Amino acid sequence: MQDGYDELGMLADNAAEAGLPWQGQPAVRRVASELPDGRVISALEWGEGPDELVLLHGGAQNAHTWDTVALALDRPLLAVDLPGHGHSDWRPDHDYRPATLAEDVAVAITALAPTARLVVGMSLGGLTAIHLAATRPDLVADLALVDITPGVDDTKTGAITEFVSGPERFGSFDEILQRTIAHNPGRSVSSLRRGVLHNARPVPDGQWAWRWDPQRAMGRDGDGRLAFAALWDDLATAPAPVLLVRGGRSPVVDDADVAELRRRRPDAEVVVVDEAGHSVQGDQPVELARIVAERMGAPA
């Protein structure tokens, strides 16, 4: 199935499904930044000229989750493959906690998008962006979080964890696609097929495997529970303005999280996308692009 796979050859399908006008293949290319230890962070760079924003995906995703958003925005941007995901190298220590990821991402942004005006982070990418905003404020002038706060826990992410914690190998492409369809009943089969093509690969024995590192330390306490509460302090002290885009059908951010966000950051803006789950960029990409463009002071 991956013979002849063209990762940039399906963008017309993205546009058609979202009802976006197709004006020919956009300017998009693979770029990379080398880390001090020799590992490489890969990214997709869209448009011409200095990147105006940086997009950080969630755990077990990759930069292609933003394809339709990037098409709708139609402006220079950098969509990063987090370490251990997509085409970026895996960490030898398998440490993918937000603070660790932020150190690596800071190197990539410094090299590839140093003048970006907005960093958008979804889920794990959002937690990473929170720590980045607190520790490298020079790289985060404005911060947008997509359906994530430091109040996330295992109860809120139960269905997501069940999917991501499933088999590491599959007998065929169809098998991995069918599992994805079963866990995403609200998404079209065509969009999920594109997503699997971008996020999985055939291995030498003929089976299929996800591109992400299955040995992931994400940030858990001594009892094995997700523990990101310390990031509330980062969010409180980060100088960048904060926008939270909440999926109206998502359990990952609840009203208590929003209340805590408003307590810590009374200046925070909160927008709810009613017809979206946790993956707002997958469920309502054009609306998310509109919100992001408005945040940047220009219509999408």
Q: What DSSP letter does each residue of the chain carry, written as one string?
A: --TT--TTTTHHHHHHHHTPPP-S---EEEEEEE-TTS-EEEEEEESSSS--EEEE--TT--GGGGHHHHHHH-S-EEEE--TTSTTSPPPTT-B--HHHHHHHHHHHHHHH-TT-SEEEEETHHHHHHHHHHHH-GGG-SSEEEES--TT--TTTTHHHHHHHTS-SEESSHHHHHHHHHHH-TTS-HHHHHHHHHHHEEE-TTS-EEESS-SS-B--B-TTS-B--TTHHHHHHH--S-EEEEEETT-SSS-HHHHHHHHHH-TT-EEEEETT--S-HHHHSHHHHHHHHHHHTTS--
* 147 in catalytic set: yes
Among 57, 85, 198, 278, the one annotated catalytic: 278
pLDDT in tens, 192-223: 999 999 999 999 999 999 999 998 877 666 65
Identity of residue 107? V
Q: Is the pLDDT of residue 66 over 90?
A: yes
Tell me the domains of the chain and their CATH numbers.
26-154+218-295 (3.40.50.1820)
- pLDDT class of 186 with cuts at 50, 70, 90: confident
The chain-wide mean pLDDT, for the chain, equals 95
* 250 in catalytic set: no
- pLDDT class of 224 with cuts at 50, 70, 90: low
The answer to whether 181 and 191 are in contact (CB under 8 A) is no
Among 147, 234, 257, 283, the one annotated catalytic: 147
Q: Residue 247 has which token pair? A: 């999926």
pLDDT at 298: 66
Record the pTM.
0.96
pLDDT at 177: 97
Among 33, 88, 123, 279, the one annotated catalytic: 123
| pLDDT mean over 3-9 | 86
- pLDDT class of 23 with cuts at 50, 70, 90: very high
* 51 in catalytic set: no
